[in-house]
Amino acid sequence: DAGITQSPRHKVTETGTPVTLRCHQTENHRYMYWYRQDPGHGLRLIHYSYGVKDTDKGEVSDGYSVSRSKTEDFLLTLESATSSQTSVYFCAISESRETDTQYFGPGTRLTVL
């Protein structure tokens, strides 16, 4: 299995609070992604990174920001969490192009009350 960890694995927070999720990889892959998964919607791309300090928006980026200061770490921040951001968040990595095989972390289950 690819070396990808996510923290925390579970989090319950209140509306309006900031939340940061961390993705850490040991594969030295260039590309990293954040997805959210909700029933009936499948996996939807929030943001992705194609190198240190290089990021771009995905399909559902509103309300989220990201940062990548090191190859191995990709952070997802919810500046002011809302109940609509209750979801399961997956980080993924790929070695080269966006369409190469992506390997997923174990996920973070976030509940916003």
Site residues for another protein per CB under 8 A: 35, 40-45, 48, 56, 58, 90, 97-99, 101-107
For residue 110, the one-letter residue type is L
As measured in angstroms, the least distance from the Cβ of 18 to another protein is 25
Please report the DSSP string for 30-63 in residue order. Answer: SEEEEEEEETTTEEEEEEEEEETTEEEE-TT-TT
Q: How far apart are CA 70 and CA 82, in angstroms?
A: 28
Nearer to another protein, 56 or 79 (CB): 56
As measured in angstroms, the least distance from the Cβ of 96 to another protein is 12
Q: How far apart are CA 44 and CA 17, in angstroms?
A: 23
Nearer to another protein, 63 or 107 (CB): 107
As measured in angstroms, the least distance from the Cβ of 87 to another protein is 13
Smallest CA-to-CA distance from 20 within 4, 34, 37, 2 is with 34
As measured in angstroms, the least distance from the Cβ of 26 to another protein is 16
Nearer to another protein, 5 or 15 (CB): 5
